[in-house]
Chain A
Amino acid sequence: MNRTSISSEALLVKQYIDGDEKSLSILINRHQQKIFSFIFSKVYDKDLAEDIFQDTFIKVIRTLKRGKYNEEGKFLPWVMRIAHNLVIDHFRKSNRMPKFEGKGDFEILDFMTDGDLNAERQIIKSQIEADLHELIKELPQDQLEVLEMRIFKEMSFKEIAFKTDVSINTALGRMRYALINLRKIIEKHQVVLTN
């Protein structure tokens, strides 16, 4: 998006906040295809995509009219983030994990500028790491120890085996059970660890 369209975007948002309803219509018309296609590419259900699209804009409207929007010039990335979060909420509610495979044309991160991308990725990465640190505390001590050494300290299995005074096979087995149990813990807590 070039500078002119960004400033026209910001102007439309400002006009809408000031009471010009037509500006919202222009914004929806301008971005409906990208937003709707993104939602549909995740849920593969037309009716559900319509609902999430509607909920997305209801959230947009509420935020704008409450004067809580502060991302001037970044309207589309902001709306896409709302849509993305609502898609995740839907899958959480229906107890089914989304298939974010990262192969499709419509990735949330594609709609963000480089600055947003790095900041967003960094935030998501830190959140995932924080969630992960909390979750692994539920693992048995021997598995937790191996997983921490392997994932966070990036030690080889040979080093782990030496450090914990077990055979490499035992260290590998503990890692395997740590991952199996971690999956169960993630499912139990219904945590979405996705970037």
Chain B
Amino acid sequence: MAKIYLNEGPQTPLKSMKPSAKTVKSILEFSKAFSVVTYKDLQFDSFQN
């Protein structure tokens, strides 16, 4: 008879899980491209290509 409930859980132990290098790279690239420009009392988001 087929098992109805099968929960093997994650392959890697939870505590040692990390985001992929690609995700971290995209965060760092976003950070480099993102800046905030302040004009008088106003703040503007700015992205560099």
CB closest chain-B residue, reference A66: B36
Interface size of B as a range: 20 to 34
Contact A106 B20 (CB under 8 A): no
Q: Which of the candidate stretches A20-28, A176-184, A187-195 sits at the interface with the other chain?
A: A20-28
Other A-B pairs, 12, CB within 8 Å; known A24-B28, A66-B36: A24-B27, A32-B24, A36-B19, A37-B14, A37-B15, A37-B17, A62-B34, A62-B45, A65-B36, A66-B43, A67-B36, A105-B15
Quote the shortest CB–CB distance from A89 to chain B (angstroms): 18
Q: Which of the candidate stretches A52-60, A134-142, A163-171 sits at the interface with the other chain?
A: A52-60
Do A33 and B15 contact each other (CB < 8 Å), given the known contacts A53-B23, A54-B23, A62-B45? yes
Interface flag for A110 (CB, 8 Å)? no
Q: Which residues of B contact A (CB under 8 A)?
A: 10, 14-20, 23-24, 26-28, 30-32, 34-36, 43, 45
- List the count of A-B residue pairs having beta carbons below 8 Å apart: 61
Interface flag for A40 (CB, 8 Å)? yes
Interface size of A as a range: 20 to 34
Q: Which residues of A contact B (CB under 8 A)?
A: 21, 24-25, 28, 32-33, 36-37, 40-41, 44, 49-50, 53-54, 57-58, 61-62, 65-67, 104-106
A57 and B34 alpha carbons, distance in the complex (Å):
12
Quote the shortest CB–CB distance from B38 to chain A (angstroms): 9
Contacts of B32 in A (CB 8 A): 21
Contact A61 B10 (CB under 8 A): no
A25 and B28 alpha carbons, distance in the complex (Å):
7
Contact B31 A61 (CB under 8 A): yes
CB closest chain-A residue, reference B29: A21
Contact A21 B28 (CB under 8 A): yes
Contact B31 A36 (CB under 8 A): no
